């Protein structure tokens, strides 16, 4: 992937150098009919501009990923979601319940009783799988579907005082 981007960049730089070289090499030539030529190329240039602008906007829209944060106003209830309430405190987590099922979306409702914390869910290899902020006065919603059963670690992702490092909990996925 990186090497493809690198190759495309090199080709792009090459094209720019070629155009510069062409312009410099031809800049000494005199032409009687200068105004009509500039007129003609201004036309081409504005068509190119519109074409490139349209292309750029289209590629940008098509390559955009869906917004990664779930709808915060939605009520994640009913049989479609498993709800877990997460309350964070200096320096512990209260998760109700702390056991969920794999394969069905879990809607975490995350809040804080005191200061800002970071609710981070890690798998057994300690790779971060999902995270959101835990803020006093707000309930942030985090929706995640666990593929694999196991013991997941909850770590605090934001420095929140003396025992921040000890703010660890466990989530069991069956």
Between CA 32 and CA 38 the distance in angstroms is 12
159 binds ligand CUA (CB under 6 A): yes
Complete DSSP assignment for 41-88: HHHHHHHHHHHHHHHHHHHHHHTPPPPSSPPSSS---TTS-EEEEEEE
Between CA 98 and CA 52 the distance in angstroms is 53
SS3 content of the chain, % helix, strand, coil (to 5): 35, 30, 35
Q: Which span sits near ligand CUA by CB under 6 A: 45-53, 77-85, 123-131, 158-166?
A: 158-166
167 binds ligand CUA (CB under 6 A): yes
144 binds ligand CUA (CB under 6 A): no
Cβ-based nearer residue to ligand CUA, 106 or 156: 156
Near ligand CUA by CB under 6 A: residue from 106, 135, 160, 171: 160
Interaction pattern, residues 68-97, with ligand CUA; x per rule: CB under 6 A: -----------------------x------
Which residues of the chain form contacts with ligand CUA (CB under 6 A)?
91, 117, 156, 158-160, 164, 167
């Amino acid at each position: 992937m990186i090497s493809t981007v690198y190759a495309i960049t090199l080709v792009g730089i090459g094209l720019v150098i070629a155009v510069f070289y062409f312009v410099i090499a031809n800049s000494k030539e005199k032409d009687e009919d200068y105004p009509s030529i500039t007129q003609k190329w201004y036309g081409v240039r504005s068509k190119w501009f519109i074409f490139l602008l349209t292309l750029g906007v289209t590629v940008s829209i098509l390559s955009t990923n869906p917004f990664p944060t779930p709808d915060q106003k939605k009520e994640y209830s009913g049989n479609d979601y498993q709800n877990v309430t997460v309350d964070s405190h200096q320096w512990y987590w209260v998760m109700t319940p702390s056991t969920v099922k794999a394969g069905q979306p879990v809607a975490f409702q995350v809040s804080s009783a005191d200061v800002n914390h970071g609710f981070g869910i890690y798998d057994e290899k300690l790779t971060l799988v999902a995270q959101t902020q835990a803020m006093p006065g707000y309930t942030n919603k985090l929706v995640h579907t666990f593929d694999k059963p196991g013991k997941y670690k909850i770590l605090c992702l934001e420095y929140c005082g003396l025992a921040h490092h000890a703010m660890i909990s466990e989530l069991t996925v069956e």
